[in-house]
A and B are shown apart, each in its own frame.
Chain A
């Protein structure tokens, strides 16, 4: 009897150990290859702008095209690209670094976190002056930490208001709203005409920080004040979220916005269930795929008038200094920006270019024009502040509560997170 009990306990303990160790993230192998026969292999990690593995527009396909062309021109340099989806890339890169398997090149949404730990090459070590000279000045500025450039702008995007012209006509709304009150009035008419989500409001985990920021900008607010101090619970922001909460309570938005991802809401817009929604060039393919044709694009409404700025988002490419391959990386970067690749990425994914040359080339595209026009005056997340990276996940998780519970309390909690440490 006693033996059996001990056996049972041992079995239990063993199972605990096995099951609980299944949870931790798997790290990707590979990484350190010796250069044989003069050949150098660059390890690159990139985010997937496409619809995932197997799809014609997948990141794997895109980069394979770029790399094949590059390797044909530079037979001594091999580039291994590992494409990771946006949800996992940050965590997986962190795991790689933790395990000492640092990539040579990384393309993702942020570079600033790597600077403090001294992991990155300076931009002038890995990019020709001609290429960096063609970058949009404002963008390049954001690639600097304490005056030294580390991040190279890769692609950008901007936001504007999309509205469904058919639904607007049916509801008797003549034109896109310019102020919050016009937005509310339009939403009420849409609601009365049977639209279930007059205003699409994705404040869920995927990108709550973007939707929130657009609303804050409409009232002269933001994550930081003009002096550069965190101001998440500023009076303007509290007023903003109180207003939005009013819209939610009146049933004029997506229900329970704090749980809705932008992808779902954009799909609902494409399906004709949503009257208006904030989107960007990257939402156009989603609307197209859903078969929505008759929509307009307008500046985002603010409290008293349309925004003269918008949210600009930049993605970055950067070079790690651990393996000392600056020369090869430089060849690859120059090839990327001067060849057809940078242009191809804008075309494939409807992302906006970051160079003057690239913007000129695209200026003929009707649908992209409102966004290209907005770029030079865009506002950005305070991502150069080291705290942003820690704050952002908290915003994504909880800011939706500001339109459900007490706005001041929810924003105050986030402000506390921002100021801590």
Chain B
């Protein structure tokens, strides 16, 4: 009887363990295995391929650019998202008339499908009929519709900022809510004490709000980083990674490779996976370092 009792926890965590093993671990194992296989384009496994898939991947002319771009993409989107969300969370934490409506409105970009949002933005930027270009035309920023100057998604230098903008746009709601939840956990008497001590507002924010917000901030940044790194629909719907591969991140590249060489694509997935692990580890390390200083 007692022995059975000892096994009881297993019954509770068992399903979760099985779920993680089947849904998470098994695909990871399969992914790594596939990256060492020679797989014909139509999906037939032709045998082991050693490191050939990786050699081919690393020899791709655009590989290095794509990896650098992926990191820049993640850093740009996450930093902008967090900065904007910190401000928004602060704002929404104040009492003002219509706060409830404003809070609800913030959910909209989050609730809408990311793919849909991306397609809407692509149409708004259409060189012939896009509303953004209509406005730019009226403001005199461009001379005519339909030409190269109205085609911001056609060139990497103008397309990338728009891609980042849309990614930030869809990431801000979640981040703001995560931070808002964090703000709600900070007790009011800490602020009162700070007031008594005569701390200025910036000083209060820097020394009280931010440190106490760290758990929420850490989770928000972590989830955003992984989300953005693996983000596919925005870039795919808006530029397909084109012109050439000049707006492609590693996730987009992986998808493109899938139609020419499945094994190489799997190798890209493994590299991608490794990148996420590294970025996460680096981030956790940095946030711990911060804690020691504070």
Contact = CB atoms under 8 A, between A and B. Distances in A.
A9 B144 CA distance: 53
B288 interface: yes
> Which of A93, A258, A259, A273 has the most C-beta atoms of chain B within 10 angstroms of its own C-beta?
A259
A382 interface: no
A419 to B, nearest CB: 14
Given A95-B43, A113-B42, A255-B146, A401 B230 contact: no
Given A96-B43, A273-B146, A394 B260 contact: yes
Interface string A195-234: 0110000001100000000000000000000000000000
Contacts of A98: 39, 43-45, 262
Interface string A173-212: 0000000000000000000000011000000110000000
B28 A23 contact: no
A24 B147 CA distance: 38
B41 A389 contact: yes
Contacts, number: 150
A15 interface: yes
Interface residues of B, number: 61
Interface in A91-113: 91, 93-98, 113
Given A196-B128, A205-B240, A390 B42 contact: no
A24 B284 contact: no
Interface string B9-22: 00000000000100
A400 interface: yes
A34 interface: no
Nearest to A401: B244
A204 to B, nearest CB: 6
A15 B284 contact: no
Nearest to B127: A255
B43 A255 contact: no
B256 A12 contact: no
B242 A259 contact: yes
A259 B153 contact: yes
Interface of B: 20, 23-25, 27-28, 31, 39-46, 61, 126-129, 144-148, 150-151, 153-155, 218-219, 222-223, 226-227, 230, 232, 239-245, 251, 256-262, 269, 272-273, 276-277, 280, 284, 288
20 contacts: A8-B218, A12-B222, A19-B230, A20-B273, A24-B27, A90-B259, A91-B258, A94-B43, A97-B43, A113-B40, A251-B148, A255-B147, A256-B151, A260-B154, A268-B128, A390-B41, A390-B261, A393-B256, A397-B242, A397-B256
The 3 closest A-B pairs by CB, nearest first: A196-B146, A256-B154, A97-B43
